[in-house]
Amino acid sequence: DADVTQTPRNRITKTGKRIMLECSQTKGHDRMYWYRQDPGLGLRLIYYSFDVKDINKGEISDGYSVSRQAQAKFSLSLESAIPNQTALYFCATSVTTGGAHNEQFFGPGTRLTVL
């Protein structure tokens, strides 16, 4: 079984609809992240959470919100989807330690298309 799972894997929706992307992890990690990936732009951080009740904006949070319902779950919502939110969305996790070289583990991604 995958350690970081995302649902749905693919979604097509219409402008103005509310969409929720779910992320779950069984790694026991405390830190979770949401990224989007667009061709030519690389991965960009939307929101991140270092623990339950801790929510932080990333570089492109406008138009998105998140909820950390439990340590293992981190959901991303698009309140009113627009076409330029069409992208590949990744959830990632990492564990807090004193080192600087901690790996981030990514889920398989959600391909979202907003028409």
Partner 1 sequence: RKEVEQDPGPFNVPEGATVAFNCTYSNSASQSFFWYRQDCRKEPKLLMSVYSSGNEDGRFTAQLNRASQYISLLIRDSKLSDSATYLCVVNPRAGFQKLVFGTGTRLLVSP
Binding residues for partner 1, rule: CB under 8 A, are 31, 35, 40-45, 48, 58, 88, 90, 94, 98-104, 106-109
Q: Is 12 or 41 the residue whose CB approaches partner 1 more closely?
A: 41
Q: Is 31 or 68 the residue whose CB approaches partner 1 more closely?
A: 31
Q: How are strands ordered across the β-sheet holding 73-78?
A: 4-7, 19-25, 73-78, 64-70
CB 10 within 8 A of CB 111: yes
The least distance separating partner 1 from the CB of residue 100, rounded to whole angstroms, comes to 4
Q: Is 3 or 72 the residue whose CB approaches partner 1 more closely?
A: 3
Reduced to 3 states (helix: H, G, I; strand: E, B; else coil), residue 16 is coil
Q: Is 16 or 28 the residue whose CB approaches partner 1 more closely?
A: 28
The least distance separating partner 1 from the CB of residue 28, rounded to whole angstroms, comes to 16
Reduced to 3 states (helix: H, G, I; strand: E, B; else coil), residue 52 is coil
73/81 Cα distance (integer angstroms):
22
The least distance separating partner 1 from the CB of residue 31, rounded to whole angstroms, comes to 7
The least distance separating partner 1 from the CB of residue 32, rounded to whole angstroms, comes to 11
Best CA proximity match to 34, nearest among 12, 63, 1:
63
